[in-house]
Structure 1
Amino acid sequence: MSLSIQGKTAIVTGAGRGIGLAVARHFVERGAHVMFADTDEAALAEAMSDYDERDPHVRGFSGRMSEKLATANLLSATLDAFDRVDILVNAHRLVKASDPLDTDLDVLEQLLRQNMMAGLRMTQIVAKRMIKQAEADPETGAAGAIVNISTLAALHPVPTMLGYSIAYAAQEQATRGMALALAPHRIRVNGVRFGSVMSHELKDSLRDKPDLRSKIVAATPMGRIAAADELVDTVLYLASEASRFVTGQIVTVDGGRSLSDRVAVQTV
């Protein structure tokens, strides 16, 4: 089985920082052509500053991932730069607290739109392109791989993060549903559910809540918080031919936290 993605073209959303950036950088190191995409233009510019603007393997795109036009423009920019797309990693996410007793559903709708619908829409538009490519070259084998980045909150909801939890539970079901729909077209759709990972958002939370780190460590059987890079190899596996008979699966990378009976702590 090969973990190679040499010469493949990947779109990675949420690539301005954290998990998305770690994935995008690793894909470049593995020889892929990578479109770094993010809503935050400043974060994306900083991430792209590590690469020569003339590097033929790397491009950047900034746009609101929750808008239909942005997703269409992102695919168009990728095709203009690299002619095709073989891998999509939906890593963009919005983290926001929500009151479960609040009758104002604006926050819930925003979280659903950005954490579930944006990725689903991107999956749909990219899948159509992958199908077209496969029809033009039926001898290539797999038509494409899509990986959705999820969170342990989808499995163990936290009341103060209810909207966030609901959005990712919906995203995981969309992962399974799209896997079934796209399997006949030789497109695989999988997810990676993370737990105690040092994301950009968790760093902010740790600054605001000094006691949060000890709570996370105590709730994690492996006794530590993972680096963002520690999710990367799982994403690479699901994006590569090494997982060519794997689809519709959500792989949990959480240091054993989901196995514990301890009360969930509010983390992102």
Structure 2
Amino acid sequence: MASGSQLDGKVAIVTGAANGIGRAIAHAFADEGAKVVLADIDEDAGEEVAAEISDRGGEAMFRYCDVGERLDVRNLVCAATDAHDRVDILVNNAGVVSREGDFLTLEEEEFDRIIRINLKGHFLAGQAVAQRMVAQVEEGGEPGTIINMSSINAVVAIPGQVAYAASKGGIKQLTEGMSLALAPWGIRVNAIGPGTIQTDQAETVNSDEEAKRVLLSRTPLGRIGKPSEIASIAVFLASDGASYMTGQTVYAEGGRLSLNYTALPLAKKKDGDKEKEV
């Protein structure tokens, strides 16, 4: 493990840390000297990531947490403070995509599931950690920072992921509201808005050449992003290098938002009686 310096001694909670972007962020934070508290509902994978970090000389612990459950979130924050006495960084990364595609037939329960995890989860974790951070400042400690995980879909929607886009748009506004509310204590709140990143959620692109062709046609850099590229942004936002940034969403999407057209029509591929959006 490389000796880090940007986050030396900081205590960071990362939700959704068992896989994908969350896993990459947890590793990157540990590499920069942070003590990482990983949270997820996937206990086996979460414990595995904590072990990976420890094996490389870092400091990490895992705690089960369903971010949509207030008690789980409170227990997570208590576990972090019991172990380390404080929390300096929160990365609100836990999120899911919709299992249903068609807006006209989208079930209420599925819409509620997406909002509960993606948006309510950010609120619950953000509020619980912010309360702890405010107390730390009032006790003479340094202000902390919160990083929310939004998406390019906060700006550009996908017909087959209406609930997901709504949740990510909400996270953008939640980030701005939190940043204003917490500014008096010097606590910074920013967000990251990834484009398509090579995670399990993007697995369809790997297995469907047409889907990949359409995706890359509207991505000027011509490739899919890597979790490590999002993790590097999280490290920056958590560091003193971003000390005058708050209320911002940093989009890492290969240039897609700069396009004023779609190079190819939105692809719809029949899969039985359902359509898959890409």
Gaps of 5+ in 2: 268-276
Identical counterparts, % of pairs = 33
Gaps of 5+ in 1: none
Coordinate RMSD, CA, aligned: 1.9
Question: Which of 1 and 2 has higher RCO (CA within 8 Å, sep 6+)?
Answer: 1
Distance 1:33 1:200 in 2: 26
Bigger shift: 120-129 or 208-217? Answer: 208-217
Structure 2 residue 259 is the aligned partner of structure 1 residue 257: no
Bigger shift: 92-101 or 77-86? Answer: 92-101
Aligned to 2:48: 46
Q: Deviations over 1:92-142 (max 9, x none)?
A: 11111342112631111110010011011100010010011111115x4xx
Normalization by structure 2: what TM-score?
0.88
| Residue identity in the other structure for 2:256 | R
Aligned to 2:221: 222
Distance 1:219 1:160 in 2: 17
Aligned to 2:272: none
Structure 1 moving runs of 4+ over 6 Å:
none
Change in CA separation of 1:56 and 1:199 when aligned onto 2, cut-off 3 Å = closer
Bigger shift: 222-231 or 257-266? Answer: 257-266
Give the number of aligned pairs.
261
Bigger shift: 85-94 or 211-220? Answer: 211-220
Aligned to 2:126: 123
Secondary structure of the 2:47 match is helix
Structure 2 residue 109 is the aligned partner of structure 1 residue 110: no
Contact 1:219 1:264 in 2 (8 A): no
| Residue identity in the other structure for 2:80 | T
Contact 2:42 2:64 in 1 (8 A): yes
| Residue identity in the other structure for 1:39 | I
Change in CA separation of 1:81 and 1:196 when aligned onto 2, cut-off 3 Å = same
Distance 1:103 1:202 in 2: 21
What is the aligned counterpart of 1:137 among 122, 129, 140?
Answer: 140
Secondary structure of the 1:130 match is helix
Distance 1:186 1:248 in 2: 12
Normalization by structure 1: what TM-score?
0.92
Map 1:36-185 to 2 at 5 A.
36-52=38-54, 57-96=59-98, 97-102=100-105, 104-137=107-140, 140=142, 143-185=143-185
Aligned to 1:244: 243
Aligned to 1:35: 37
Bigger shift: 258-267 or 30-39? Answer: 258-267
